[in-house]
Amino acid sequence: MTGFGAFVAAAARDGVLVVQPRMGFGDPARMRAGLLATRDAGVRAAGTITLDSFTRVGEHDSVRAALAQGGQLNGYPIVDHPLAVTRGVLAGVGGTGFPVQVRHGSPRPQRIVAALVAAGLDATEGGPISYCLPYSRVPVAESVRAWTEAARMLAGLREDGRRPHLETFGGCMMAQLCPPALLVAISVLEGVFFRRLGVDSVSLSYAQQTHPGQDAEALLALRTLAAEFLPATDWHVVVYTYMGSFPRTPGGATALLADAARLSVRGGAERLIVKTVAEAHRIPTVAENVDALWVASRAAAAERRAPAAVADTGIAAQARAVVEAVLDVDPDLGTALTKAVTTGLLDVPYCLHPDNAGRTGATVDGAGRLQWTSTGGLPLRGLTDTGGTPHTADQLLRALSYLERKFDDAALERECLPS
């Protein structure tokens, strides 16, 4: 086996967590420098080309105008840079010892996938639900059609002896305030969607949330359901360092990243997407990304990889109920996903997409756990309790900044302690 999945699998056999930045620059020379710095960081890392926001939404006229005027883009415009330029960025960089993944955020990824394939790449991420509901107003049915075409395009690479890889973004919906069971369910469903379209190397995502014990339970649930619903598939789990409001102090940001690395090891994840000390302020530099890779690698190496004893609060049962209910909607999973969203069988809290039913709600309780306040049409009757009332604006803001305040307060307290 070769490709992105094989690289991660080899690291897992060695007991090493793969770390990966979210790095992306519009300037080809800077993008190449970032990839080389990641490769040469002295840790087991995968490379990343993150695309700019114009490319993500298909505004290619805006990309070309920015390039013509020498303007800065917040990511790499892989569709609009000439193919020879992108091949130059990648020349001598990648290979079996350093795979490169394209990250973007598009509900219509066909041109992006065509461009990365032409450049010799075969790993990317997203999904028909996870790259549609949070980021766009594109109808879910259209996103499903687009992702069907993109997945089949990637699957076609197998005819040339390559093994393309797709990572579902389903475990990162809305970044925060989405209870773990729904994150697990969407991640598994998108993994099955990719597999049915011929991509047999996938990764399942889960974003670090507000309570380490709840996260550990969610990762166990994700691995359990992946083994059940993705037979004959090369799969692994990738954890995202907390995607909500990030600590503003260097000490707080570093501590939260280290926690994500330790969670990844305890939860059996094979890969971690890192964040840097600059996340709350600006786009990180190459050096800051490399520093984050080192922090995560050291924290992971110091954590013992062993089955974690986790409390069963019902995350696996809830996630399985959602997965099975959606799979029962229609034999065609794309049709099933579309109907599940439009009927509220899949319903993401605080998501304003026109197709999302918006009848679910969640809160962070006093212990830091994410809990349902309303389950709407989700098939969770008898599987979870709901309580509390919808957030006021002030309560919502406090919930969104829960980890930021927790880790910044702890960092400031450490700084104030006498030496």
**Residues 197, 155 contacting (CB under 8 angstroms):** yes
pLDDT at residue 119 is higher than 90: yes
**Range list of β-strands (E), 241-389:** 271-273, 360-364, 370-375
* pLDDT attached to residue 408: 64
Average pLDDT over every residue of 51-74: 92
Please give the CATH superfamily to which domain 4-301 belongs.
Answer: Methylmalonyl-CoA mutase (3.20.20.240)
* Residue whose pair of structure tokens reads 């998108």 in the numeric block: 190
User: Percent of the chain scored above 70 by pLDDT?
Assistant: 91
Residue scoring higher pLDDT (142 or 312): 142
Average pLDDT, the chain: 90
pLDDT reported for residue 96? 72
Dihedral sign, CA of 121, 37, 127, 59?
A: negative
C-beta separation of 348 from 178 below 8 A: yes
Instruction: Map out the domains of the chain as residue ranges.
Output: 4-301
User: Averaging pLDDT over each range in 202-216, 241-255, 362-376, 401-415, which range is the top one?
Assistant: 202-216
Task: State the Cα–Cα distance between residues 274 and 249, nearest whole angstrom.
Answer: 16
What's the pLDDT at 366?
A: 81
Q: Supply φ then ψ for residue 12, to 5 degrees.
A: -60, -40
- Chain position carrying tokens 């957030």: 391
Q: Are strands 47-50 and 360-364 parallel, antiparallel or unpaired?
A: unpaired
For residue 266, which of 299, 303, 301, 239 has the smallest C-alpha distance? Answer: 303
Spatial strand order of the sheet with 18-20 comes to 18-20, 271-273, 234-240, 201-207, 165-168, 123-126, 100-103, 47-50
Q: What is the pLDDT of residue 22?
A: 92
Q: pTM for the whole thing?
A: 0.94
Quote the DSSP letter at residue 303: S
For 286, the enclosing helix (H) or strand (E) is helix 286-301
